[in-house]
Amino acid sequence: MTGEAVSGQDVSNPGKSSWRVTVLGGGAWGTALALAMLRAGHKVRLFARDPQTVAAIGQGQNPRYLPGIAIAPGIEATSDIAAALSGADCVLAVTPAQSLRATLAVAKDNMPDGIPLVLCAKGIERDTGALLSAIVEEILPRNPVAALSGPSFATDVARGLPTAVVVAARDEALAADLAARFSAQNLRCYSSDDLIGVEIGGALKNVFAIAAGAVTGAGLGASAQAAMVTRGFVELRRIGAAFGARPETLMGLSGLGDLLLTCSSAQSRNFAYGLALGQGKALAGLPLAEGVPTAAIAARIAVERGIDAPIIAAVAAILDGAITISQAVTALMTRPLKTETND
Ligand SMILES: NC(=O)C1=CN([C@@H]2O[C@H](COP(=O)(O)OP(=O)(O)OC[C@H]3O[C@@H](n4cnc5c(N)ncnc54)[C@H](OP(=O)(O)O)[C@@H]3O)[C@@H](O)[C@H]2O)C=CC1
Ligand SMILES: O=C(CO)COP(=O)(O)O
């Protein structure tokens, strides 16, 4: 086996009993979170639909999604959804946002009643405009929904590097319990009862990460980058407000925190997608960029709700091939001048 060693269980939560945690999704984030749950002292099962991924994780690696990272023993990977969910105390949904509905449909008949379903994907459903929590509430009405979000690259978390995230649920006590159970030495989980705020922050930052990559790729300069991220954050907060998100939530880990991370690093797949766009490179075959479908639906939501969101509209139009980056810059820079309002 090659790759750096990743410890399996370096810290457990004193006073918290071990849970049986099931992770749905064998990609980069699902595998990283499975490792994080092991370190927090839980028994971990991981469902992946791809038998090759299951076999690879069983052999201590996930070369397709986390190349070069050794997976500590202890994760029970399976393609059998019934076996994955049997007796689970908690389920983490870690497939892409646009696949959540299909993933839950597969899980539905085997999902134990009453256990929390924690959303770890970041996005808004492209076809319906539904937040991911609404999809869970529709398909799994007997399972309380929570969301885990914040600045956390899968490779960083898989390696056990330190970061902080937020775990949100409408029920404050559930959020606090999950945050305590998921926390480990290098994963500090804050809790929040603003589920919608945490979801919106994680979903929309991806759109601006694409924009940031495009600004860099097109050589528009660091000043343009900072101006775009600042005004983008205003748009994020406007859309958040329309969904009932609390502004202070969006100032936190799952809004500003994740925006800072993914708008400044080519380690972000959304940033990398934007970078390729800005450089005029081919986009086909690039890794998952959740901001692509989210930009389209966020732009539609903004129009439907009368929200001023010109950067989101520009990103959606560029991705759609309707305008070029240069045309978008001209349109944004020639808007009527106005007072700087940050709400
Ligand atoms: N990677 C990261 O750093 C972070 C990612 N996230 C979020 O987590 C979510 C997942 O991302 P990530 O793991 O990185 O994505 P990846 O592309 O690395 O992996 C996606 C995984 O989902 C599986 N999948 C896709 N569709 C389905 C389906 N219908 N049923 C079952 N499995 C399915 C894929 O399986 P298959 O191989 O068979 O296609 C694959 O195992 C995204 O919303 C992302 O924004 C959040 C924080 C950090
Ligand atoms: O959400 C992330 C880190 O918090 C991962 O971002 P990317 O999907 O852009 O890589």
How far is ligand 2, taken at its centre, from the CA of residue 262, in Å?
Answer: 6
**Of 193, 220, 236, at which residue does a domain stop?**
193
**Domain-located, residue 8:** no
**Domain-located, residue 126:** yes
Flag whether pLDDT at 152 surpasses 70: yes
182 and 40 in a single domain? The answer is: yes
30 lines ligand 1 (CB under 6 A): yes
Q: Which ligand is nearest to the CA of 46?
A: 1
How far is ligand 2, taken at its centre, from the CA of residue 86, in Å?
Answer: 30
93 and 237 in a single domain? The answer is: no
107 lines ligand 1 (CB under 6 A): no
123 and 249 in a single domain? The answer is: no
pTM above 0.80, yes or no: yes
35 and 115 in a single domain? The answer is: yes
**Of 161, 193, 225, at which residue does a domain stop?**
193
**Domain-located, residue 209:** yes
Query: Where does the pLDDT of residue 339 fall: very low under 50, low under 70, confident under 90, or very high at 90 and above?
Result: very high
Please tell me the total count of domains within the chain.
Answer: 2
Q: Is the dihedral of CA 202, 207, 210, 211 positive or negative?
A: negative
DSSP per residue over 204-262, as a string?
HHHHHHHHHHHHHHTT--HHHHHHHHHHHHHHHHHHHHHHT--HHHHTSIIIIIHHHHH
> Two tokens at 212?
């940031």
156 and 264 in a single domain? The answer is: no
Q: Which residue has the higher pLDDT, 96 or 2?
A: 96
Flag whether pLDDT at 334 surpasses 80: yes
> 163-169 and 117-119 as β-strands: parallel, antiparallel, unpaired?
unpaired
Looking from the CA of residue 30, the nearest atom of ligand 1 is: 13
Q: What is the pLDDT of residues 301-319, one digit of tens each?
A: 999 999 999 999 999 999 9
> Two tokens at 51?
């038998």
Q: Active-site residue 16, yes or no?
A: no
Say whether 258 counts as a known binding-site residue: yes
**Domain-located, residue 342:** no
**Domain-located, residue 259:** yes
Q: Which ligand is nearest to the CA of 155?
A: 1
**Domain-located, residue 13:** no
Beta bridge pairs of residue 44: 21, 75
Distance (Å, rounded) from C-alpha 37 to C-alpha 206?
25
User: What is the chain's mean pLDDT, rounded?
Assistant: 95
Query: Where does the pLDDT of residue 343 fall: very low under 50, low under 70, confident under 90, or very high at 90 and above?
Result: confident
Find, among 81, 8, 84, the residue nearest to 40 by Cα. Answer: 8
Q: Which ligand is nearest to the CA of 154?
A: 1
**Domain-located, residue 343:** no
Residue % of the chain over a pLDDT of 90: 94
30 and 133 in a single domain? The answer is: yes
Say whether 264 counts as a known binding-site residue: no
Task: List alpha helices for the chain, DSSP H.
Answer: 28-39, 51-58, 81-85, 100-107, 132-139, 154-158, 172-182, 195-217, 222-243, 247-250, 258-262, 269-278, 291-305, 310-319, 325-333
CATH of the domain at 127: 3.40.50.720
Q: What is the pLDDT of residues 232-274, one digit of tens each?
A: 999 999 999 999 999 999 999 999 999 999 999 999 999 999 9
User: Domain residues for 305?
Assistant: 203-333
231 and 158 in a single domain? The answer is: no
Q: What is the pLDDT of residues 39-86, one digit of tens each?
A: 999 999 999 999 999 999 999 999 999 999 999 999 999 999 999 999
42 and 184 in a single domain? The answer is: yes
Q: What is the pLDDT of residue 5?
A: 37
Q: To test ligand 1's pocket by mutation, which of 31, 35, 62, 288 has the most ligand atoms within 8 angstroms of CB?
A: 288
Q: State the complex-level ipTM.
A: 0.99
100 and 209 in a single domain? The answer is: no
168 and 131 in a single domain? The answer is: yes
25 lines ligand 1 (CB under 6 A): yes
189 and 230 in a single domain? The answer is: no
> Two tokens at 104?
């839950």
Active site residue: 16, 205, 281, 338, which one?
205
Q: To test ligand 2's pocket by mutation, which of 120, 122, 159, 275 has the most ligand atoms within 8 angstroms of CB?
A: 122
> Two tokens at 85?
């969910």
36 and 134 in a single domain? The answer is: yes
Distance (Å, rounded) from C-alpha 285 to C-alpha 227?
30
Say whether 65 counts as a known binding-site residue: yes
CATH of the domain at 225: 1.10.1040.10
**Domain-located, residue 6:** no
Looking from the CA of residue 151, the nearest atom of ligand 2 is: 4
> Two tokens at 25?
């999704």
**Of 144, 167, 193, at which residue does a domain stop?**
193
